[in-house]
């Protein structure tokens, strides 16, 4: 024996409950013979999607008028599922490309008993993407005798290419009145009776789905006699409505103890804690609606706001009862509803009694500029009194410039001097300085719009520093040629810098003695600059080596023709003798010491001449030949070098 919802399936459009917007369009299409090649029916479960698809199949295969009649052979075969020209496919289990290929082959055959073939794809959203793509061409240009009908509860999962090729009808949920009417008609056909509250309870539990209501009614038909509300509640396992109304009224009146006792009694009778909380929520809702004249419910006296707060507390408790449904959780839900209904009004605090600050009048002037005028100037030297935050204002100026100009001034450091903005470029950013000079007008325009300053000055750090130095400082810088790098005030490098420290690995050739100005001291510390010291005990003989003439140590500062007006003099070129063979490192002070032998008399230097004479003379032409050093004194043969 089939289920009740299958027996009660409508056989004509007149028996179909609700969905008037769908029935009217389909009936007009049947009368005028303008059926579409594909339809899409979407909506919640149990609202008539598949039933409507079968009614269309009956109508195109019906031999009577009006169609469908529901009594002819064609309608009967469709209703029983035995019509050869009606294919009802479950897309949830036949969702592959092979199934679509088989369907395409079947629809190419002509109809057997009627003029049309109807293909009903139920749960169409379960088809795979490949299956939908395989069906696209057939759906766009189907054979003239084929009608496709898709039924789904999730139309958002259907591809847009399918939606654009179908006529989409959205089915709505059924109202409780429509469901009660259909249930009464079913009971009348079966010769049974039921109380209206019982049918209303069934319709409320169905939540707009006719199939769910028919399934619940099928369970109730096993009871004998007329269906009452109590029998319906007992059969469906629901708590008594009177008990829930009494519980709601007790909470409304503030009777907490009777309410807890009533809830405990219902829990011991076997009703779940979540079911009781849901029933109490519906009782409060019925009482609120009954006060508005929208139905019947318990008599409640609390304001609407308190009732809504209690319903919200019970609704939030539903989530907790899903994880833990015991007596303790039920009591916590009741206490939360009681607290919402009888929340004591809070006394106004001292802070609340204070009058709120009055809203100031609207001032069209920018507040930031006003703050600049009123705020006292900070005792700093760099910021201007007209600008509060130099960094943020400079970012605004950068944003007002073009990207090409912004790249030039990015290297500059902004400063304020009196009533003008100074952009200080470092020495390494000379290219950016020149680019900023070419675009000075645009920079001044941006500064004028953002900061309100008229003058903008560009400075290159090295040039400005040199121009501002007094003459005395320049003389001191000239003396720094022979000072170590750490002791110099301006951080310039020494002229006796090793070759690796020079930029690009440049190597300065040695200046011969004849090219130097008279009286000038060589930067290579020749032997004549050193005080005479007693020779070693047994030094090697160097008869062919002539020591250069010594010069006074301060001869450099008495050099004729040296002018301080054109900047510091060019430092002496670097010589490898000072970097490679000087016992003192280049970073140490080159102070003259007493009692130190000359370089040409140094045994270590003579050893280097014997080993690397030819290569050494490329850098130091004054080095003697190896033959002059081949006959050392016999006393020094055994001495280590």
pLDDT digit string, tens, across residues 3-55: 899 999 999 999 999 899 999 999 999 999 899 999 999 999 999 999 999 99
pTM of the full structure: 0.53
Is residue 395 a part of any domain in this protein? Answer: yes
Q: Are residues 163 and 202 in the same domain?
A: no
Element (H, E) at 149: strand 146-152
Q: Are residues 34 and 111 in the same domain?
A: yes
Q: Are residues 19 and 151 in the same domain?
A: yes
Is residue 594 a part of any domain in this protein? Answer: no
Q: What domain range is 212 assigned to? A: 177-236
Give the pLDDT score at 640. Answer: 46
**CA 312 to CA 639: how far, in whole Å?**
107
Angle at 50 between CA 45 and CA 56, to 5 degrees: 150
First to last CA, the chain: 123
Q: Are residues 211 and 227 in the same domain?
A: yes
Q: Which of 277, 312, 342 is the last residue of a domain?
A: 342
**CA 270 to CA 234: how far, in whole Å?**
11
- pLDDT digit string, tens, across residues 558-593: 444 444 444 445 555 555 444 444 445 444 444 444
pLDDT top residue among 259 and 541: 259
Nearest to 313 by CA among 339, 293, 287, 345: 339
Q: Are residues 59 and 72 in the same domain?
A: yes
Beta bridge partners of 455: 420
Longest Cα separation, the chain: 148
Q: Which of 236, 251, 276 is the last residue of a domain?
A: 236
What backbone phi and psi angles, to 5 degrees, belong to 257? -65, -50
Question: What is the DSSP track for 525-590?
Answer: --GGGSPP-PPPSSPPP-TT--PPPP--TTGGGG-TT--STT-SPPPPPP-HHHHHS-SS-TTS--
- pLDDT digit string, tens, across residues 229-279: 999 999 998 999 999 999 999 999 999 999 999 999 999 999 999 999 999
Question: Under 8 Å CB-to-CB from 231, ≥6 apart: which residues?
Answer: 198, 220, 223
pLDDT top residue among 431 and 624: 431
Q: Are residues 123 and 199 in the same domain?
A: no
User: For 451-539, where are the alpha helices, taking DSSP H only?
Assistant: 461-468, 471-479
Neighbours of 392 (CB within 10 A): 10
**CA 272 to CA 280: how far, in whole Å?**
12
Is residue 103 a part of any domain in this protein? Answer: yes
Give the pLDDT score at 225. Answer: 87
Neighbours of 211 (CB within 10 A): 20
Question: What is the DSSP track for 11-70?
Answer: SSGGG--S-HHHHHHHHHHHHHT---SEEEEE-STTSSHHHHHHHHHHHHH--SSSSP-S
**CA 582 to CA 495: how far, in whole Å?**
14
Is residue 550 a part of any domain in this protein? Answer: no
Give the pLDDT score at 2. Answer: 75
CATH label of the domain that carries residue 404: 3.30.300.180
Structure tokens at 607: 């050893």
Structure tokens at 311: 């319903």
Q: Mean pLDDT across the stretch 65-76?
A: 87
Q: Mean pLDDT across the stretch 187-196?
A: 92
Is residue 605 a part of any domain in this protein? Answer: no
Give Cα separations from 27 to 32, 33, 82, 581 (angstroms).
9, 10, 24, 113
> How does strand 117-122 pair with strand 86-90?
parallel
Question: Under 8 Å CB-to-CB from 157, ≥6 apart: which residues?
Answer: 125
Is residue 113 a part of any domain in this protein? Answer: yes
Region label for 208, one of left (φ > 0), alpha (ψ between -120 and 50) or beta (otherwise): left
Give the pLDDT score at 538. Answer: 47
What backbone phi and psi angles, to 5 degrees, belong to 290? -65, -35
Q: What percent of the chain has pLDDT over 90?
A: 44
Q: Are residues 218 and 254 in the same domain?
A: no
Nearest to 522 by CA among 607, 605, 599, 595: 599
Asked if residue 324 has pLDDT above 50, the reply is yes
> Which value, in Å, is the radius of gyration of the alpha carbons in the chain?
53
- pLDDT digit string, tens, across residues 89-121: 999 999 899 999 999 999 999 999 888 999 999
**CA 568 to CA 240: how far, in whole Å?**
108
Neighbours of 154 (CB within 10 A): 11
**How many domains would you assign to the chain?**
4
Asked if residue 396 has pLDDT above 80, the reply is yes
Q: Is the dihedral of CA 50, 56, 62, 67 positive or negative?
A: positive
Nearest to 286 by CA among 338, 255, 237, 248: 248
Is residue 531 a part of any domain in this protein? Answer: no
Q: Are residues 39 and 151 in the same domain?
A: yes
Q: Are residues 13 and 161 in the same domain?
A: yes
Q: What percent of the chain has pLDDT over 70?
A: 68
Beta bridge partners of 117: 146
**Can you tell me which residue has the tokens 């969702």?**
95
Kindly tell me the burial class for residue 207, based on how many C-beta atoms sit within 10 Å of its own C-beta (0-12, 13-18, 19 or more): middle
**CA 371 to CA 366: how far, in whole Å?**
9
**CA 431 to CA 445: how far, in whole Å?**
22
**CA 408 to CA 429: how far, in whole Å?**
9
CATH label of the domain that carries residue 283: 1.20.272.10
Q: Are residues 131 and 245 in the same domain?
A: no
Question: Under 8 Å CB-to-CB from 146, ≥6 apart: which residues?
Answer: 37, 107, 116, 117, 118, 119
Is residue 549 a part of any domain in this protein? Answer: no
Give the pLDDT score at 355. Answer: 53
Give the pLDDT score at 390. Answer: 76
What backbone phi and psi angles, to 5 degrees, belong to 607? -65, -40
**CA 157 to CA 152: how far, in whole Å?**
9
**Can you tell me which residue has the tokens 């070098």?**
641
Structure tokens at 42: 């979407």
Q: Are residues 200 and 268 in the same domain?
A: no
Question: Under 8 Å CB-to-CB from 196, ≥6 apart: which residues?
Answer: 180
Q: Lowest-pLDDT range, 210-214, 413-417, 477-481, 626-630?
A: 477-481
Q: Which of 431, 460, 489 is the last residue of a domain?
A: 460
Average pLDDT, the chain: 76
Q: Mean pLDDT across the stretch 402-426?
A: 85
CATH label of the domain that carries residue 132: 3.40.50.300
Q: Are residues 48 and 117 in the same domain?
A: yes
């Amino acid at each position: 024996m089939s289920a009740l919802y299958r027996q009660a399936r409508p056989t004509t459009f007149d028996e179909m409950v609700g969905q008037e917007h769908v029935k009217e369009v389909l009936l007009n299409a049947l009368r005028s013979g303008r059926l579409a090649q594909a339809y899409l029916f979407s909506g919640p479960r149990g609202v008539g999607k598949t039933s409507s698809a079968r009614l269309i199949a009956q109508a195109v295969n019906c031999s009577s008028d009006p169609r469908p009649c529901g009594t002819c052979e064609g309608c009967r075969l469709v209703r029983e599922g035995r019509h050869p020209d009606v294919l009802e496919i479950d897309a949830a289990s036949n969702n592959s490309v092979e199934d679509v290929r088989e369907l395409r082959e079947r629809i190419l055959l002509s109809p057997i008993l009627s003029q049309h073939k109807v293909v009903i794809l139920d749960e169409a959203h379960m088809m795979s993407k490949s299956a939908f793509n395989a069906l696209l061409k057939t759906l766009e240009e189907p054979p003239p005798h084929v009608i496709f009908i898709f039924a789904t509860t999730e139309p958002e999962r259907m591809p847009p290419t399918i939606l654009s090729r179908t006529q989409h009808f959205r089915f709505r949920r059924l109202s409780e009145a429509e469901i009660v009417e259909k249930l009464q008609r079913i009971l009348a056909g079966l010769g049974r009776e039921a109380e209206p509250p019982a049918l209303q309870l069934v319709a409320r539990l169905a939540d707009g789905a006719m199939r769910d209501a028919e399934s619940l009614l099928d369970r109730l038909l096993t009871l004998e006699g007329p269906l009452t509300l109590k029998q319906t509640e007992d059969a469906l396992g629901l708590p008594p409505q009177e008990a829930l109304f009494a519980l709601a009224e007790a909470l409304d009146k503030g009777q907490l103890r009777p309410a807890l006792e009533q809830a405990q009694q219902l829990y011991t009778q076997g009703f779940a804690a979540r079911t009781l909380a849901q029933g109490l929520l519906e009782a409060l809702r019925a009482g609120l609606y009954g006060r508005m004249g929208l139905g019947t419910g318990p008599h409640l006296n609390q304001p609407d706001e308190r009732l809504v707060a209690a319903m919200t507390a019970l609704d939030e408790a539903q989530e907790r009862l899903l994880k833990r449904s015991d007596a303790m959780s039920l009591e916590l839900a009741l206490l939360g509803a009681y607290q919402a209904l009888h929340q004591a009004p809070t006394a106004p605090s001292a802070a609340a009694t204070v009058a709120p600050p009055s809203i100031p009048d609207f001032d069209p002037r920018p507040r930031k500029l006003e703050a600049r005028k009123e705020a006292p100037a900070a005792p700093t030297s760099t910021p201007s009194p007209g600008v509060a935050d130099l960094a943020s204002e400079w970012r605004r100026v950068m944003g007002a410039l073009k990207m090409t100009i912004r790249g030039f001034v990015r290297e500059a450091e902004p400063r304020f001097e009196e009533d003008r903005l100074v952009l200080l470029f470092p020495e390494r950013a000379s290219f950016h300085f020149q680019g900023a000079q070419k675009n000075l007008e645009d920079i001044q325009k941006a500064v004028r719009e953002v900061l309100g300053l008229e003058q903008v000055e560009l400075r290159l750090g090295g040039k400005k520093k040199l121009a501002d130095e007094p003459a005395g400082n320049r003389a001191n810088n000239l003396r720094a040629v022979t000072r170590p790098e750490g002791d110099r005030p301006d951080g310039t490098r020494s002229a006796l810098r090793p070759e690796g420290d020079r930029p690009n690995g440049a190597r300065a050739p040695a200046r011969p003695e004849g090219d130097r100005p008279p009286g000038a001291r060589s930067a290579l510390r020749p032997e004549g600059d050193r005080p005479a010291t007693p020779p070693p005990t047994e030094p090697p003989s160097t008869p062919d080596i002539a020591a250069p003439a010594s010069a006074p140590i301060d001869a450099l500062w008495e050099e004729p023709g040296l002018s301080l007006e054109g900047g510091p003099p060019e430092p002496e070129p670097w010589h490898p003798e000072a970097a490679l063979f000087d016992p003192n490192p280049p970073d140490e002070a080159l102070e003259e010491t007493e009692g130190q032998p000359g370089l040409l008399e140094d045994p270590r230097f003579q050893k280097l001449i014997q080993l690397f004479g030819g290569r050494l003379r490329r850098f130091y032409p004054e080095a003697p030949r190896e033959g002059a050093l081949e006959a050392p004194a016999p006393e020094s043969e055994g001495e280590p070098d």
